[in-house]
A = this chain, B = another copy of it.
Amino acid sequence: MHDRRQSAVPDIESLMGQFHAYLSKKQLKSTRQRDLIAQKFFAAHGHISIEELLNLSRAENPRIGYATVYRTLKLLAECGLAAQRRFGDGQTMYETAGDTEHHDHLICIECQHVLEFQNDDIEHEQERVARSFGFSLVRHRLELYGLCPRARGIKGGWCPNEEQRKLSD
């Protein structure tokens, strides 16, 4: 198994580059707003809701509107840099996608934070299941919900919530 906790931090410059490449290929324009929103999105490591993204963006440019965030996120999704996700029952979330390898999610139902992991055994088994039904597998989604060490009451237990903040900021 492969723990991606430490690796992450995908190169924002490179992601912005991909975004700009897509825009110019489609003869669309780079604007202050799009850049700002994309930056904030990538900097959030891609687990973010429209509203959070709007607020982060407005911190730097208060005149940003909802529509622009929606439209920019749609562009990011079109070029494979963002993917819409709907965890649990909450709001629609977006995450970075398409960059490198696939990952699944491990979510603490107490502190709400999301960890990524990758496990080849599971991936292989998924292939086998699909094949056994005659399907060809295109993509999948796996989310594990549970309690992190701290939430389980382990003294000094590690909590992804805090851990992620340390890594992100």
Contact = CB atoms under 8 A, between A and B. Distances in A.
B157 A134 contact: yes
B132 A1 contact: yes
A136 to B, nearest CB: 5
A121 B115 contact: no
A136 B149 CA distance: 8
* Copies of this chain, tallied across the complex: 2
A135 B122 contact: no
A129 interface: yes
Interface string A97-127: 0000000001011000001010101100110
A66 interface: no
16 contacts: A106-B129, A121-B121, A121-B125, A122-B122, A130-B144, A133-B160, A134-B149, A134-B152, A134-B154, A135-B144, A138-B147, A139-B145, A140-B144, A141-B143, A142-B142, A142-B143
